[in-house]
Amino acid sequence: MAPKSFLLACLLAFTLQFFFSPPVSSSASLLSTSKESSSMKDLIKLGEGCVSHPEDVSVVVRKGALYTATNDGWVKYFILHNETLVNWKHIDSQSLLGLTTTKEGDVVICDSKKGLFKVTEEGVKVLDPDVRFANDVIDASDGTLYFTVSSTKYTPADFYKDMAEGNPYGQLLKYDPKSNQTTVLQEGFYFANGVALSKDEDFVVVCESWKFRCRRYWLKGDRNGTLDTFAENLPGGPDNINLAPDGSFWIALIKVYMLHIVSKGLIVHMSLSGFQTTLLLGNGHSSSEELVRQNK
């Protein structure tokens, strides 16, 4: 890596770590007055004050329930018709991320530090204790699990270093419940995040947060085992993704806001979905649009 690039990466990593728990600032007012914020005023909040930092949700239609996992170790579900919250199972973990529900009604959860778990009425079973930074998982009709590893180099606590380095350490993996074996299907993702299976189960979509795009890995047909671009130039970093009933996909985006642009010794104040940082960049960028375009 060239000296200037290395210096920039170090500076970015330092500032992200320093500002990970930010004070209230001018970017907070931007968020509160933005169109995105005002458009959510009519949404119904479920479990407000009772659910600690949920990462993902999965609906079991026949149970009329919505499952989630929280950073205090609880797997919970909402009974949707009366909005009752049930504390179902507790796991000794503070690193639960994406989850999926199986056709049997069990829950499979990614633990970014401890591997892949299966939660049933009988308890918790570790499916694969060796994977690290597992982020999201989806269950196929035959019981096969497809899941992502965001970074094979960095830990969850050091995710900002992955972003600063800008190299593709993410993976798409497959867990076979018959053999209890995990295999790597594809490497080279820029922070592999959410994963979803198509309606016909002929491909999976993987979100690449740092590239503002989603990739498609084919599971069947002439393109089996190949990778192509499903969506790109998104207006934010794709995080979680879920299949909609009509075969399309719902994608959650990490929105980036930038303020305080100075054209020559560029200073950018950025808010990235819940944490803020100030980036001090060298010459060469003249606008926030140019910076975002080059980051993509």
Q: Are 137 and 100 spatial neighbours (Cβ–Cβ below 8 Å)?
A: yes
Backbone angles phi, psi at 37, to 5 degrees: -70, -45
Domain chopping of the chain, boundaries: 1-43+256-296, 47-255
Question: What pLDDT sits at residue 28?
Answer: 31
The answer to whether 259 touches 27, Cβ cutoff 8 Å, is yes
What pLDDT, on a 0 to 100 scale, did the predictor assign at position 49? 83
Q: Which CATH class is domain 47-255?
A: mainly beta
| Closest by Cα among 38, 1, 13, 286 to 163 | 13
Given this model, what pLDDT does residue 256 score? 63
Q: What is the pLDDT along the chain (296 residues), one digit of tens a residue?
A: 444 444 444 445 444 443 343 333 333 333 333 444 555 677 778 888 888 889 999 988 878 899 999 999 999 999 988 889 999 999 999 999 999 999 888 999 999 999 999 999 999 999 999 999 999 999 999 999 999 999 999 999 999 899 999 999 999 999 999 999 999 999 999 999 999 999 999 999 999 999 999 999 999 999 999 999 999 999 889 999 999 989 999 999 987 654 444 444 444 444 444 433 333 333 333 333 333 333 33
Tell me what pLDDT residue 215 has: 98
| Nearest residue to 197 (alpha-carbon basis) of 251, 146, 143, 253 | 146
Which phi and psi angles does 106 have, rounded to 5°? Answer: -85, 170
What pLDDT score was predicted for residue 233? 93
- Report how far residue 60's alpha carbon sits from residue 71's, in angstroms, rounded to the nearest whole number: 21
User: Pick from 95, 61, 98, 94: which is nearest to 79 by CA?
Assistant: 61
